[in-house]
A and B are shown apart, each in its own frame.
Chain A
Amino acid sequence: MRERLRTIANALAVFAGLLVLWQVVLWLFHVPPYMLPSPWAVAVALDSRFPSVLASTAITAQESLEGLLASIIIGVVVALVFAQSRWIRKMLYPYTILLQTVPIIAITPLIINWVGPGTAAVALIAFIISLAPVIANTTQGLISVDENLVHLFLMHNASPAQKLFKLRMPHAVPSLFVGIRIASGLAVIGAITGEIFAGSSRVGVGGLGYSILYAYSQLQTNYLFALVLAAIVLGFAFLFVVMFLEWYFLHKWHESARVPETE
């Protein structure tokens, strides 16, 4: 516990140091506020426009979450299909790589064309960008079972369902979480990217991407920075929730989820 407190204290100290450095740079080079506002100005902007920042964050959070959940569900289903045979993997795996290499920003306009602008399109983009890591990691977990364990199940004449539910699926859970961890960050990035193109159909507030674009066009750099800060916090929040769930489900038995022992 004391170890953990010290870790947090260290992280906060680095953060404070960065703020000081930021301020020093402003003073030394006389940077105009529309290029880089002071930390204080950002804090003030965050305070005065807090309801709108919060509303934007909530919209982005919901879209990211929808995209991420879809990725997890579809990704696990696809991985189960991939785990059936080497043949299927060889045939279809190149397409998951394609999924990873297509620049999401390039196909975003196309998706908006198909789905129409709005939160559904944004969630779809978050889904597309976060799908590949779930598929890849879960498939790996499903197929990398120790050969002797497979033999053990064979020796007891285990049915295909028993092999799947009592061996392959539990074995794949740690890998699934690795996939979800990567996907959670990507989903938030995907949602914000999508909003820059597609989040503008809403009157009043849009998600973070939309608001960032708005703040940029209005040269409200303070507000822009406050929104970027909110985006970072949102990404962290997703990661922390995933890591907590990972710990919750795995800490009893899995090595990677073990809390490091204090010296």
Chain B
Amino acid sequence: MSPASNVPQIEFEGVTKSYGTGRLVLQAIDLKVLKGEFVSVIGPSGCGKSTVLKLISGLTPPSSGTIRVDGMTPANARETISFIFQDATLLPWRTVTENVGLGLELERVLTKRRTEKVESLLRLVGLGDVAAAYPRELSGGMKMRASIARALATSPRVLLMDEPFAALDEMTRDRLNEELLRLRAEQQWTAVFVTHSVAEAVFLSTRVIVLAPNPGRVHAVLPVDLPFPRTAQLRESPEYESLVARASHILREALIQ
């Protein structure tokens, strides 16, 4: 679906980020993510992958350079952005329903509209049966589904994901990858996805960005021309496998360099 448009959703121009006194995390990043793209960011640890997401979301400002999201500064664009963290980060004292509705509640959306939205989302991610359960009663995969539903509840145009499936077993991770693409086909959002897994990045993305470490910079950009909809069968196709092999090779290069 969605051949990426030409409208830029996220733009980085000469973005540099250093923490404290001079520890350079990202150096001269130029990056353009188009509306409807699914971009994965991979790279060895310490290459500033997560920092890219924090910059897009405005949780931390760049040291120099400019960032635009929907033509706005990240802080102003916050309403259009949702963030999915590595841990599900659900509020343990709230039920699944109350957790998924959190964003809408904080943005003071009326209860009636909120309830409808949350109910439909819970069905969409397959959590309808555990709506009244507390997070500690859920498996890791179910918690992550709730976290995804919470992020989608505010109808974001940009979805940022920071290794959301890293803590899950491989089977659950594969299933959630497929579901994420199904959700993307139904709704329209642009995704920036940070991961350690090359295979996951290739499976999900329209483009994979490989960062090199110390300081973090763009090492290579790998377009993924595999057709949508992508299903579990894709993982056995030779095209997919050769792309994963190439991406792994580029990643190793980035590390050695």
Footprint of B on A, CB under 8 Å?
146, 148-149, 151-158, 162, 166-167, 170-171, 173, 252-255
**A253-B93 contact given A151-B59, A155-B78, A156-B107, CB 8 Å threshold:** yes
Instruction: List chain A residues, Cβ under 8 A from B82.
Output: 155
Contact, CB under 8 Å: A255 / B136: yes
Q: What separation, in Å, do the CA atoms of A158 and B79 have in the docked complex? A: 11
Shortest beta-carbon distance from B231 to chain A in Å: 32
Q: From B86, B92, B107, give the contact of A157 (CB < 8 A).
A: B107
Q: In the complex, given contacts A146-B89, A151-B59, A254-B93, what are 8 additional A-B residue pairs having Cβ atoms less than 8 angstroms apart?
A: A148-B87, A149-B91, A155-B81, A157-B106, A157-B107, A166-B91, A166-B106, A253-B93
7 contacts between A and B (CB under 8 A): A146-B89, A148-B85, A148-B87, A148-B89, A156-B102, A156-B107, A255-B136
Q: From A148, A152, A166, A254, give the contact of B92 (CB < 8 A).
A: A254
Q: With an 8 A cutoff between CB atoms, is B83 at the interface? A: yes
Q: With an 8 A cutoff between CB atoms, is B57 at the interface? A: yes
Contact, CB under 8 Å: B89 / A158: no
Contact, CB under 8 Å: A156 / B92: no
Instruction: List chain A residues, Cβ under 8 A from B93.
Output: 170-171, 173, 253-254
Closest to A167 in B: B91
Q: From A146, A156, A170, A173, give the contact of B106 (CB < 8 A).
A: A156
Q: What separation, in Å, do the CA atoms of A157 and B80 have in the docked complex? A: 12
Instruction: List chain B residues, Cβ under 8 A from A170.
Output: 91, 93
Q: With an 8 A cutoff between CB atoms, is B134 at the interface? A: yes
Interface string of B135-165 (1 = CB under 8 A from A): 1100000000000000000100000000000
Instruction: List chain B residues, Cβ under 8 A from A154.
Output: 59
Interface string of B88-132 (1 = CB under 8 A from A): 010111100000001101110000000000000000000000000
Contact, CB under 8 Å: A156 / B103: yes
Contact, CB under 8 Å: A149 / B106: no
Contact, CB under 8 Å: A253 / B78: no
Contact, CB under 8 Å: A156 / B59: no
Shortest beta-carbon distance from A155 to chain B in Å: 5
Contact, CB under 8 Å: B89 / A253: no
Instruction: List chain B residues, Cβ under 8 A from A254.
Output: 92-93
Instruction: List chain A residues, Cβ under 8 A from B105.
Output: 166
Closest to A173 in B: B93
Contact, CB under 8 Å: A253 / B134: yes
Shortest beta-carbon distance from A144 to chain B in Å: 13
Instruction: List chain B residues, Cβ under 8 A from A173.
Output: 93
Q: From A152, A166, A252, give the contact of B89 (CB < 8 A).
A: A152
Shortest beta-carbon distance from B19 to chain A in Å: 15
Q: What separation, in Å, do the CA atoms of A173 and B57 have in the docked complex? A: 30
